[in-house]
Amino acid sequence: MVKISPSILSADFSILGEEARRMEVAGADLLHIDVMDGHFVPNITIGAPVVKSLRPRTKLPLDVHLMIEHPEQYIGDFAAAGADIITIHEEAADDVAAALALIRSKGVAASLSIKPKTPAKAVFPYLDDVSMILVMTVEPGFGGQALIEDTLLKVQEIRRECVRRGLEMDIQVDGGISPANIGRVAACGANVFVAGSAVFGAKDAAAAIAQMRAQCVIS
Ligand code: DX5
Ligand code: ZN
């Protein structure tokens, strides 16, 4: 199933509740929340209190992308704040399996991400522990970057491995996704699409989301 997850990194942070509602009305499936700590990535955004205050403002599932070191220390806070999906980075967790188990123990969907330079195989040991894999299609840290083409090979590789194992996996892509490239990315096996600038930067967010959805033909 195709899911579009607008990233609030490109929203107006002074009116996040309204922005969340606007995405819901525009037809988004999830709301992507980028959490950055200034260590794992060279940028700082928001923490669990903001997730908590957004929770009652939208019915959309909250798709929380933790770009932070030692994520295990904060999983409890984000779960309690109302996250529906928590993504951690393979490169950041001290014990990846334990961190994913902790997410699941909170009743939250567990997801694992890799940066552009991390090989696809890095997620293979954890495919049974997650419901989603996030393949970063840009270096994490900032919105508005161009998609790195090589990363699509990893989407293909991970989809192939999931099919081989009979796993129904959500494969999310994040960074540089637009109406111009989403069809190609979907054809590689991705089905969950984060889009920041392409949705929040559009004059008509609903049209942008509909246009992106229309480009995805998932076999
Ligand atoms: C980048 C973030 C992305 C970002 C995507 O580190 O993880 O979610 O907001 O923004 P666009 O779609 O503008 O590349
Ligand atoms: Zn993200």
pLDDT > 70 fraction of the chain, expressed in percent and rounded:
99
> What's the mean pLDDT in 153-178?
98
177 lines ligand 1 (CB under 6 A): yes
Q: Which of 13, 174, 178, 192 to mutate to test the pocket of ligand 1 (most atoms within 8 A of CB)?
A: 174
Q: Is residue 211 packed enough to be buried (19+ CB in 10 Å), middle (13-18) or exposed (0-12)? A: middle
Please say if the pLDDT value at position 175 is more than 90: yes
pLDDT tens digits along 13-49: 999 999 999 999 999 999 999 999 999 999 999 999 9
d(CA 211, CA 180): 10
Q: Is 174 a catalytic residue?
A: yes
pLDDT tens digits along 185-217: 999 999 999 999 999 999 999 999 999 999 997
Residue in the structure block whose two tokens are 């929380």: 64
pTM score, whole prediction: 0.98
> What's the mean pLDDT in 84-111?
98
d(CA 35, CA 38): 10
Please say if the pLDDT value at position 218 is more than 60: no
9 lines ligand 1 (CB under 6 A): yes
Please say if the pLDDT value at position 179 is more than 70: yes
CB atoms within 10 A of CB 216: 17
**Residue with CA nearest ligand 1 atom 6:** 140
Residue 137 has a pLDDT of 98
Asked whether the beta carbons of 63 and 33 are under 8 A apart, the reply is yes
Residue 217 has a pLDDT of 75
Among 29, 34, 63, 170, the one annotated catalytic:
34
Please say if the pLDDT value at position 219 is more than 90: no
pLDDT tens digits along 54-74: 999 999 999 999 999 999 999
